[in-house]
């Protein structure tokens, strides 16, 4: 396991208890504000000393209270991208970028620096001062500064929270490249499901200082038992589909969930993989193959689990090809249709969002195929 | 020197030397104390704060007399310093520098402490995650950011050191060429008949030195503040 975190800390009004391992890639810490996400990240960085705990990154222990090991922050080699950037105002962009390199013993210009400057689009900013930069530019410099110190692990504490929609959309592609092109594991704090759906490999869900569950992003977002922690609106399946055709009528066809999904034309080339999100609230169920219906996206499914909620609703977990999708229906419908595990049925999908496109956009303008 | 008599010139040069050393030696200590007061909670913090401010609120003559009681040649601290380092304060220019430094110290600490309190500790945290030890964080982040405050404090300390009178004359007396600083000299000239012209020349010199120091520090502070603003 790439990152291993075990923490216990007693605050006056919150008990923090977290224990999870995560593989390489982007691990998202998800939860409402005040659930302790930032505290976990600060403990990993060494800015908070927990009562008890063990933290290791790629086999190197940073903290082990039982062995009396508490590395100070400057010896942890952790890159930290803060919500507000925290650039040094008295240094130029280039000096900011090189600050951590100097302390890591990496002096002078380097290929890594050139590559990162190009990747983050910082070339034109190098001689500027932080006070002149826009919020998005500041955040890109902060990311570059953290990465150039060649950290073992990159921490990002809601790096997009202080930015408006268009600025978020400007940074996200850089984060995706980071995930795909560097080997550095990333611990990413967010309370925006859209960011997590787009970026995360692993998700750890936190609630009131406690870890609820950690696992692969697709499993966590579609876990009905986490619906309250994630939010009823946001619970849903995350599928990876392959672009198989672009049709003349402006729709793209995706192979996903053991069938085909149609959505408004995506810019991706044929054969490319795409993450799409299907909210549970956008899925209707039918025992018979629906005919004479405007919806284009209908998948053959098999019911694998039914989980009644506290109210009149219930989550139905369905197996669609090799994937799982989630539907939120009423308990009355479950009874009326006689749904039970193992039963075949059809999922009518009202809306498919491309995980990339709905990030940064307002909920109402999210690019999705809506054929309800 | 045409404008100044040798006696007057001696007083000016002595004052500059006293103020220079007083400021230079007090500055690092003032930065350290200001940092402790701004950033640390410790037992006796209010006591230290009070002690630092004492020279500001006590009558200078009292401070001068306390210095004499502490650093006089027969006082414990004074005797020990003379034996160990050969350092004598009583009735020497070094004593004038000590008095000037102590009188200016609270002013320096106040200005620098305000500057340190204005530095966002989050920037220092960011520096530590980038591999800077506590000392390096101070040198590379805190110090550049508080520079305008340090310059302002230095000017205040220097001005106070140039103008110090009460504590100096009580502690080290008014010996021409050794402890007779500018203010002491002006005072002495005013005590003798026909000394007004000399006193007036020294007053002009005082004003010129004060204005030069002020302009210099304003320029430096403005430059430092511009740098710190991030633009």
B81-127 tens-digit pLDDT: 988 888 889 889 999 999 999 999 999 999 999 999 999 999 999 99
Helix (H, G, I), strand (E, B) or coil at A283: strand
Which residues of chain A make contact with B122, given a CB cutoff of 8 A?
Answer: 82, 84, 86
Question: A31 pLDDT exceeds 70?
Answer: yes
Mean pLDDT along residues A62-74: 92
pLDDT digits (tens, 9 = 90+) for B7-29: 889 999 999 999 999 999 999 99
Question: A367 pLDDT exceeds 90?
Answer: no
- Burial of A144: CB neighbours in 10 Å, binned 0-12, 13-18, 19+: buried
CA atoms in the 13 A half-sphere facing the CB of A95:
13
Q: CA angle, corner A350, sides to A348 and A351, nearest 5? A: 130
User: Under an 8 A CB cutoff, do A103 and B123 touch?
Assistant: no
pLDDT digits (tens, 9 = 90+) for A144-203: 999 888 899 999 998 888 777 777 777 888 888 888 888 889 999 988 888 888 888 899
CA separation for the pair B27, B108 (Å, rounded): 7
Q: Homologous superfamily of A3-221 in CATH?
A: P-loop containing nucleotide triphosphate hydrolases (3.40.50.300)
User: Under an 8 A CB cutoff, do A47 and B122 touch?
Assistant: no
* A 101-120 residues inside an 8 A Cβ radius of B: 103-104
Name the H helices within B40-165: 45-57, 60-71, 76-85, 93-118, 121-129, 134-137, 143-163
Q: Which residue of B has its CA nearest to A98?
A: B130
Mean pLDDT along residues A128-141: 89
pLDDT digits (tens, 9 = 90+) for B132-146: 999 999 999 999 999
Does domain A236-370 bear CATH number 2.40.50.100? Answer: yes
Asked if residues A296 and A369 have their Cβ atoms less than 8 Å apart, the reply is yes
B128 vs A: CB within 8 A = yes
Mean pLDDT along residues A27-41: 89
pTM exceeds 0.90: no
For B69, phi and psi rounded to 5 degrees?
-65, -30
User: Under an 8 A CB cutoff, do B230 and A90 touch?
Assistant: yes
User: Under an 8 A CB cutoff, do B129 and A99 touch?
Assistant: no
DSSP state letter for B153: H
pLDDT digits (tens, 9 = 90+) for A254-267: 888 888 889 888 88
Longest dimension (CA), chain A: 71
pLDDT digits (tens, 9 = 90+) for B165-186: 999 999 999 988 899 999 999 9
State the pLDDT at residue A321. 83
B131 vs A: CB within 8 A = yes
CA separation for the pair B87, A361 (Å, rounded): 73
Which residues of chain B make contact with A73, given a CB cutoff of 8 A?
Answer: 125, 128-129
Long-range CB contacts for residues A231-235, cutoff 8 Å, separation at least 24 = A231/A193, A232/A281, A232/A313, A232/A328, A233/A279, A233/A281, A234/A193, A234/A279, A235/A279, A235/A280, A235/A315, A235/A326, A235/A328
State the pLDDT at residue B145. 93
Asked if residues A187 and A155 have their Cβ atoms less than 8 Å apart, the reply is yes
Smallest Cβ–Cβ distance between A86 and the set B122, B131, B133 belongs to B122
State the pLDDT at residue A324. 84
State the pLDDT at residue A217. 86
Q: Which residues contact B213 (CB under 8 A, 6 or more apart)?
A: B155, B158, B159, B162
A130 vs B: CB within 8 A = yes
A99 vs B: CB within 8 A = yes
Mean pLDDT along residues B51-59: 93
Length of chain A: 372
B229 vs A: CB within 8 A = yes
State the pLDDT at residue A1. 58
Question: A370 pLDDT exceeds 50?
Answer: no
State the pLDDT at residue A356. 58
* A 15-74 residues inside an 8 A Cβ radius of B: 45-47, 72-74
State the pLDDT at residue B2. 66
User: Under an 8 A CB cutoff, do B122 and A149 touch?
Assistant: no
Which residues of chain B make contact with A45, given a CB cutoff of 8 A?
Answer: 129
State the pLDDT at residue A270. 86
CA separation for the pair B60, B52 (Å, rounded): 14
Q: Which of B116, B158, B216 is nearest to B27 (CA)?
A: B158
User: Between A169 and A70, whose confidence is greater?
Assistant: A70
For residue A331, the cross-strand partners are none
User: Between B105 and B6, whose confidence is greater?
Assistant: B105
Structural domains present in chain B: 6-228 (1.10.3720.10)
User: Under an 8 A CB cutoff, do B136 and A77 touch?
Assistant: no
Domain boundaries, chain A: 3-221, 236-370
Most A CBs within 10 Å, among B118, B124, B131, to test the A interface: B131
């Amino acid at each position: 396991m790439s990152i291993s975190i075990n923490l216990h800390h007693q605050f006056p009004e919150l008990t923090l208890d977290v224990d999870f391992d995560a593989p390489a890639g982007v691990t998202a810490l998800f939860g409402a504000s005040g659930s302790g996400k930032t505290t976990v990240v600060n403990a990993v960085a060494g800015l908070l000393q927990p009562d008890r705990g063990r933290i290791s990154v790629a086999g190197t222990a940073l903290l082990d209270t039982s062995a009396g090991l508490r590395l100070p922050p400057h010896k942890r080699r952790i890159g930290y991208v803060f919500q507000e950037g925290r650039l040094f105002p008295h240094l130029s962009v280039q000096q900011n970028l090189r600050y951590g390199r100097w302390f890591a013993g990496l002096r002078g210009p380097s290929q890594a620096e050139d590559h990162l400057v190009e990747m983050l689009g910082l070339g034109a900013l190098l001689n500027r001062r932080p006070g002149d930069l826009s919020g998005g530019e500041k955040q890109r410099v902060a990311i570059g500064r953290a990465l150039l110190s060649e950290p073992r692990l990159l921490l990002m504490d809601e790096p997009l929270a202080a930015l408006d929609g268009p600025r978020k959309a400007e940074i996200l592609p850089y984060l995706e490249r980071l995930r795909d092109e560097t080997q550095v594991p990333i611990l990413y704090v967010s309370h925006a499901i859209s960011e997590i759906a787009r970026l995360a490999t692993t998700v750890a869900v936190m609630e009131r200082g406690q870890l609820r569950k950690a696992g692969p992003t697709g499993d966590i977002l579609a876990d009905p038992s986490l619906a309250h922690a994630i939010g009823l609106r946001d619970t849903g399946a995350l599928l990876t589909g392959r672009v198989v055709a672009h049709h003349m009528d402006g729709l793209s066809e995706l192979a996903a969930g053991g069938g085909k999904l149609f959505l408004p034309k995506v810019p991706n080339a044929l054969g490319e993989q795409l993450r799409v999100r299907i909210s549970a609230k956008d899925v209707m169920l039918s025992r018979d193959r629906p005919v004479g219906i405007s919806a284009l996206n209908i998948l053959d499914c098999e019911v694998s689990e039914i989980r009644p909620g506290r109210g009149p609703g219930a989550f139905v977990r369905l197996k669609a090809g090799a994937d799982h999708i989630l539907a939120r229906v009423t308990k009355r419908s479950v009874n009326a249709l006689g749904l039970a595990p193992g039963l075949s049925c059809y999922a009518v999908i009202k809306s498919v969002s491309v995980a990339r496109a709905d990030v940064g956009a307002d909920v109402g303008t999210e690019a999705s195929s809506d054929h309800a | 020197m045409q404008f100044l008599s040798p006696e007057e010139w001696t007083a000016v040069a002595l004052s500059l030397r006293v103020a220079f050393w007083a400021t230079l030696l007090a500055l690092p200590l003032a930065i350290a104390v200001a940092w402790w007061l701004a950033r640390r909670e410790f037992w006796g913090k209010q006591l230290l704060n009070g002690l630092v401010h004492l020279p500001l609120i006590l009558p200078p003559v009292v401070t001068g007399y306390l210095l004499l009681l502490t650093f006089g040649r027969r006082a414990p601290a004074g005797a020990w310093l003379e034996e160990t380092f050969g350092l004598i304060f009583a009735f020497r220019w070094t004593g004038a520098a000590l008095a000037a430094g102590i009188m200016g110290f609270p002013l320096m600490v106040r200005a620098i402490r305000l500057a340190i309190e204005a530095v966002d500790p989050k920037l220092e945290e960011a520096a530590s995650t980038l591999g800077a030890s506590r000392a390096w964080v101070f040198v590379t982040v805190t110090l550049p950011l508080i520079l305008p405050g340090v310059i302002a404090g230095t000017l205040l300390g220097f001005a106070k050191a140039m103008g110090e009178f009460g504590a100096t004359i009580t502690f080290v007396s008014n010996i021409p060429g050794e402890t007779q600083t500018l203010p002491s000299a002006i005072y002495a000239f005013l005590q003798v008949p026909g000394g007004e012209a000399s006193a007036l020349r020294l007053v002009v010199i005082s004003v010129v030195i004060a204005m030069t120091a002020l302009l210099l520090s304003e320029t430096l502070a403005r430059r430092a503040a511009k740098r710190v603003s991030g633009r």
